[in-house]
Amino acid sequence: MLQVFRLRRFRLRRFTAAVMAPCVMSGAFVLTQGAPAWAATTSGCPHGATPTSAQLNATTGVTTKTINVSNISIISGPVPGLFQGAPYGAEAYFAYLNSKGGVHGRTIVMDSQDDGFSGTQNQADTAAAVTHSFALVGSFSLFDNFSCKVLADNPAMPDVSATLDPGTNSLPNVFSPQPIDQGGSMAGYLHLKKLYPKAIGHTASLVSNVETAIAQWHGQEAAMKHAGWKFGYVRYISPLESNFTADVLNMKKKGIEAVMLSAGTSGVYAALVKEMNQQNFHPKVVVSNGPIYDNSFVKSAGGTKNTSGIWLIQALSLYLGQDAKSTPSVKTFNTWMAKTHPGFKIDLFTVFGWASAQLFAQALQASGDHPTRGKVLAALKKINSFSASGLIAPANPAKKIPPNCVLFARITNGHFGRVKPTPTKGWDCSQPYYSIHGALPKVSP
């Protein structure tokens, strides 16, 4: 019974991480000999063996007309369709690519697997993919750490996916369109400091009480304190909480003037904002780095009046459609999602699936007419700036450096829209990304 309880508790903690913000994608970090300071690893996963010549020259999944890849994501389980967006996004990009002739005359065929919210199934699916697919592309699961050893034992198998697991992220054959780390871009924190110099000295944050959220929060807190922010109220909360009356009253009592909506869910923060307005509590600045960017947030938070002026600062375009006129990749993304999966509600994981597929395709294109796994890995190791054509902020997949560029937006009349200092197209890249290891190298747009 104790073992069952522990397993259930573990799964709950991992499950709640699924609905975290885009920044909530990291666990414990340690330094590894020969790896950059920002490269994450865990003691439970080997760093990876040296690939053999046979492994590097493998053409598994390649035919004269097609290249077969696999996607392993959580589709069934406690919440059906949890990460359905990941394979859908990858499929949509490949459909777009194939409509233009594919890569060197070959179309990309993707095999989508559901790990069913199971680590052992994720591991089995990954082992099977090594034997019949050329690469893993666009996967998203809370249990990819179970497959870390499979990828380490098959070091020529490319995995181009956004991973939550630091150990998997550290492997030399794993490449993410937006690598994980603990921290944040200084651009947002310093700009708001300039606008609200006194308010940032009295900041509050409610943090989801799960491992990934807490780990990411520590990095974000370090970055914000480095920028001069001070916290007067921080509480770890259940991701299922909905009553924040006591929190709002405490914030008012403590003189809070800035509220962060960063290390939790859209639903939690909608309830908090609604309560803030019910209690006539109006801090000078309310800001989020991603969780609230959801078509349902404004309505759930009580409407236009309650949400007007809330800041959004994130390393993603306004991919739900607001940037479609200024950023062609947003229009392409939305168009092909509508073509391939009409009616599907686009989310963050859809973006990661699409971006991962584009990153893989770029490396495949560079590999020439006769691709091998080794050639694709070599090409991936040369991609030092990637933005999915502007859909996401530029990161460095090759060196596993997260984006330092951000986009500034605010809610006005119930709608998200870009605001200064972000240009109408592109990013603010004026400051570095600051992590628990210090400032990381900037990534060129």
Mean pLDDT along residues 60-76: 97
CATH number at residue 259: 3.40.50.2300
Number of structural domains found in the chain: 2
User: Which residue from 220, 171, 223, 215 is spatially nearest to 397, judged by alpha carbons?
Assistant: 171
Query: Pairing mode, if any, of strands 407-412 and 415-418?
Result: antiparallel
For residues 138 and 96, state if they share a domain: yes
For residues 190 and 172, state if they share a domain: no
Pairwise CA distance, residues 403 & 445, whole Å: 9
For residues 168 and 197, state if they share a domain: no
For the record, the structure tokens of 77 come out as 């389980």
- Lowest-confidence range among 47-56, 115-124, 370-379? 47-56
Q: pLDDT at residue 43 above 60? A: no
For the record, the structure tokens of 78 come out as 């406690």
Residues 64, 102 contacting (CB under 8 angstroms): no
Measuring CA to CA, how many Å separate 331 from each of 107, 244, 323, 424? Answer: 23, 38, 8, 15
For the record, the structure tokens of 124 come out as 């089995």
User: Which residue from 62, 174, 58 is spatially nearest to 126, judged by alpha carbons?
Assistant: 174
Q: pLDDT at residue 26 above 50? A: no
Position with higher pLDDT, 163 vs 257: 257
For the record, the structure tokens of 215 come out as 């780990």
Domain-located, residue 83: yes
- Note down the domain range covering 142: 48-178+337-390
Domain-located, residue 9: no
For residues 62 and 173, state if they share a domain: yes
pLDDT digits (tens, 9 = 90+) for 83-142: 999 999 999 999 999 999 999 999 999 999 999 999 999 999 999 999 999 999 999 998
Buried b vs exposed e over 279-300: b needs ≥16 C-beta within 10 Å? eeeebebbbbbbbbbbeebbeb
